[in-house]
Amino acid sequence: MKIILLRLRPSSNTVLPITHKHFLQSAIYSLLSKNLQYSSGLNEYDFSYDSYNFRLFTFNNLNKKRTAEDRLVRFESDFEFEAQTLDKRFVNIMIESLRESGGIQGYNIFCELINLSIFERQIYRNNLRIGMLTPVTVYKTGENGKTIYFIPLDDEFINLINKNFYNKYLAAYGHMLGSGVFMHPELKGFPTHLKFLYYTGMVARNSQGLGVLKMFSQGKM
Per-residue pLDDT reduced to its tens digit, 75-87: 777 888 889 988 8
Supply the pLDDT for residue 138: 85
| Host domain of residue 43 | 2-119
What's the number of domains the chain is made of? 2
Supply the pLDDT for residue 23: 82
pTM, full prediction: 0.76
Burial class from Cβ neighbours inside 10 Å (0-12, 13-18, 19+) for residue 29 reads: middle
User: What CATH number is attached to the domain comprising 93?
Assistant: 3.30.70.1890
Q: Are residues 157 and 209 in the same domain?
A: yes
User: What CATH number is attached to the domain comprising 174?
Assistant: 3.30.70.1900
Per-residue pLDDT reduced to its tens digit, 10-29: 876 677 777 777 888 888 88
Per-residue pLDDT reduced to its tens digit, 24-51: 888 888 888 888 777 665 655 567 767 7
Per-residue pLDDT reduced to its tens digit, 171-205: 888 887 766 676 665 778 788 888 888 888 877 77
